[in-house]
Amino acid sequence: MAIHLSTLPRRTTRLVLRTARLAKAKLLGEAKRFYRTYVSKTAIKHTVERTATAEGSAGVAVVALYPRGPLLASATRLISTLVDEGYHVIAVVNKSRLAPAWITALTQLNITLLSRPNVGRDFGAYKVGYLFAETHGLLATAKHLLFANDSVFYGPRSQAFISDLLKDEHAWTAMFVSRQVDVHAQSFFQRFSSEQFLHSAFKKFWHTYYPSEERMHTIKKGEIRLATTLTALGYTPHAYVTADRVLSSSSFGDFTENEKHNIRREAIARRVAKVSLEHAELVALMREQYLKWNITHVQGTLTSRVLGAPMKLDMPPLYVTQEAMRDALIALGTPPDEALATLTFMVTSQNKRSAQTVRSLHSLMSALHHTLAPRTYLEVGVFQGASLKLARCPAVGIDPAPQVTQRLPATARVITKTGDDFFASPRPLDGVLPTTAPRRGDGELFAELALIDGMHHAEFALRDFMNIERNSAPWSTIVFDDALPENAEQALRTRATASWTGDVFLVEQVLKTYRPDLVTVRVDTATGALLVFGLNHLDQRLASAYDEIVATYVKSDPQVVPDEVLRRDGVISIDALIQSGVLQVMRTAREQQASSEWVAREVRARLSGE
């Protein structure tokens, strides 16, 4: 029986909560120490692919690259310009499917080329390049140290823009300075003078910084902390791109209709502007945004058109139209075929992770309850009860240490046991589900919808699946949460991030290998969901091979997450799942008491559009 905190005496409640907080802090502390000690070592491993034949007279430029999409030409323009301007370029290529082709192409340039595991985002690559330059004495005589990456698109016009920027005489020059939340130089292009990068505080930052896959860690502990380190020494980042530079440019003339739209959209979203604004009002609003926001997102297409500044690849669809992005690519002098491929890449990347398509697990479960209308529901891993409360039928939640804070339906029941203990009995659902609940043809109770969100280790998740399938029907649906980590750090078995998936992603690989009769569907939720159809409660292949599976698939940290998992290949949105007709197949299967084979065949047909 679950114990709700509200039923305990206040003093006991405080003690329970304090104990839980201390336990969580200890766990996270241990995880962080583990990450710093072991995983971060992977972040500075690298292979020297080639070295430059001459030292740059202007300084050292560390360029972080993650080969993807049609971006090789953009990266080559950046690097070639830096070489032409007298920089010793250290290009640090992160591992990806396209990395070998990029390395082959970049070896034609007179640069130092390093390759490394894709760990720690751009600041991980910057650290590798910085330590390489320091170790080989390249910084001792350098005038400047420059960091740049490929998160922006460089068109042909951008090369002249970079050359002009490099003539800037400020000690610390950034292409853009963001004033959103904290004032800081944006990491994709900034340059430091020797008085800064030879300072002990600057050196200490790079020697103590540990790379992370978490985006906010990179921003706060990387971009912002580096900025505050230099600010404490009395330096201020000089923004090369400013409102005055745009408005005074001979290429400006006036705002295009798309640029007016982009400026207004951000302001309308904050309810501080009308839809229609006069020119003077647009200029005032534009200047205000330079002082308060991330200008590369709000006005990136404008700065690309007018100044030739490179354009951010992750333009927010809320503020920037696709037409504006296309116009900016053309204004940058991009060849038509490359412009089309780049725009397609940008839009596809946005759609994968946009707020319109990526929703929470609870949105998915709510949609499944509404569409499938299951008559019984089971979940492993209750926590606070947010998903269990969505059930509209007799429901069972299993958790060895539930912390239920939600008001659960009267038909829901929480069992305080581990999944292994609960399923140890031959008929675990007897006495838990009501006697009026539907039964299989063999007379056994079963779950028509189930969620696995327990211990985030592959072997536990797999055992939960085996146990639930044994207590399922052919028309049942099983959902795995946390099946698609966004980065390798989330996938660590030892938790090191707030958003944690563990190595649950391995289960899909196991099912495809040992149970090809099942149909698995990736759904685009925050940490990814995996739906499994065509269940067969008599199948024993997983149970027979369990020890072999664990020995083959489960490895100690760090985890190697396949690129196709990180890219979320084949993922579909919740809306697309509903529109596909797959869930209607499950309703029909229930009505007809269909077989596992029929379910699998019909689901595959709907997914293929037949």
Task: Give residue 267's pLDDT.
Answer: 61
- Residue 256 structure tokens: 């295009």
Q: What is the mean pLDDT of the chain?
A: 88
| CA 227 – CA 184 distance, rounded (Å) | 6
Residue 98 has pLDDT above 90, yes or no: yes
- Residue 312 structure tokens: 């951010």
What string of H, E and C letters represents the secondary structure of 154-186? Answer: CCHHHHHHHHHHCCCCCCEEECCEECCCCCEEC
Q: How far is CA 421 from CA 184, 380, 398, 426, 460, in A?
A: 52, 12, 10, 11, 12
User: Nearest-CA neighbor of 462 among 525, 524, 419?
Assistant: 419
Residue 317 banded pLDDT, cuts 50, 70, 90: low
| CA 164 – CA 191 distance, rounded (Å) | 13
> pLDDT higher for 119 or 149?
149
Total residues belonging to the chain: 610
- Whether 558 and 38 have beta carbons less than 8 Å apart is answered as yes
Helix (H) or strand (E) holding 377: strand 377-380
Residue 141 amino acid letter = T
**Burial state string for 15-36 with b = 16 or more CB within 10 A and e = fewer than 16:** eeeeeeeeeeeeeeeebbebbe
The set of residues, in sequence order, having a beta carbon less than 8 Å from that of 8 and lying 6+ positions away, is: 16
> pLDDT higher for 352 or 175?
175
Residue 356 banded pLDDT, cuts 50, 70, 90: very low
Q: Is beta strand 189-193 parallel, antiparallel or unpaired with respect to 152-153?
A: unpaired
- The DSSP symbol for 396 reads E
Interval 476-523: pLDDT, tens: 999 999 999 877 778 889 886 767 899 999 999 999 999 999 999 999
User: Nearest-CA neighbor of 288 among 307, 311, 267?
Assistant: 267
Residue 62 has pLDDT above 60, yes or no: yes
| CA 504 – CA 515 distance, rounded (Å) | 17
pLDDT, average across residues 449-453: 98
Residue 238 amino acid letter = H
Helix (H) or strand (E) holding 584: helix 582-592
Residue 586 has pLDDT above 50, yes or no: yes
Interval 111-135: pLDDT, tens: 999 999 887 888 999 999 999 999 9
pLDDT, average across residues 174-199: 88
| CA 512 – CA 185 distance, rounded (Å) | 46
pLDDT, average across residues 84-90: 96
| CA 192 – CA 201 distance, rounded (Å) | 13
Does the N-terminal peptide bond of residue 558 adopt cis geometry, omega within 30 degrees of 0?
yes
What is the dihedral sign for C-alpha 554, 555, 556, 562?
negative
Task: Give residue 273's pLDDT.
Answer: 45
236 conformational bin, left if phi > 0, alpha if psi -120 to 50, beta if neither:
beta
Interval 396-427: pLDDT, tens: 999 999 999 999 999 999 999 999 999 999 99
- Whether 85 and 166 have beta carbons less than 8 Å apart is answered as yes
Query: For a pLDDT cut of 70, what percent of the chain falls above it?
Result: 88
Q: How far is CA 255 from CA 303, 523, 583, in A?
A: 11, 40, 48
Q: Does the predicted TM-score (pTM) go above 0.75?
A: no
- What are the phi and psi torsion angles at 384 (to 5°)? -90, 0
| CA 591 – CA 606 distance, rounded (Å) | 18
- What are the phi and psi torsion angles at 139 (to 5°)? -90, -15
Residue 106 amino acid letter = L
Lowest mean pLDDT among 100-114, 257-271, 317-331: 257-271
pLDDT, average across residues 146-174: 95
Collapse the DSSP code of 527 into the 3-class scheme (helix H, G, I; strand E, B; otherwise coil) and give the result: coil
Task: Give residue 181's pLDDT.
Answer: 65
CA atoms within 13 A on the CB side of 50: 15
- Residue 148 structure tokens: 């740049």
Residue 41 banded pLDDT, cuts 50, 70, 90: low
- Whether 404 and 385 have beta carbons less than 8 Å apart is answered as yes
Report helix, strand and coil shares of the chain as percent, to nearest 5.
45, 15, 40
CB neighbourhood size of 14 (10 A): 12
Note the helical H segments in 308-426.
322-331, 336-353, 361-372, 419-422
Interval 455-464: pLDDT, tens: 999 999 999 9
Residue 348 has pLDDT above 60, yes or no: yes
Interval 253-304: pLDDT, tens: 898 877 887 777 666 555 444 545 678 888 888 888 888 878 888 788 999 9
| CA 231 – CA 491 distance, rounded (Å) | 35
Task: Give residue 266's pLDDT.
Answer: 61
Residue 84 has pLDDT above 50, yes or no: yes
- What are the phi and psi torsion angles at 144 (to 5°)? -135, 155
- Whether 468 and 377 have beta carbons less than 8 Å apart is answered as no
Residue 377 amino acid letter = Y
Residue 287 amino acid letter = R
- Residue 552 structure tokens: 């083959």
Residue 597 banded pLDDT, cuts 50, 70, 90: very high
Collapse the DSSP code of 235 into the 3-class scheme (helix H, G, I; strand E, B; otherwise coil) and give the result: coil
Collapse the DSSP code of 67 into the 3-class scheme (helix H, G, I; strand E, B; otherwise coil) and give the result: coil
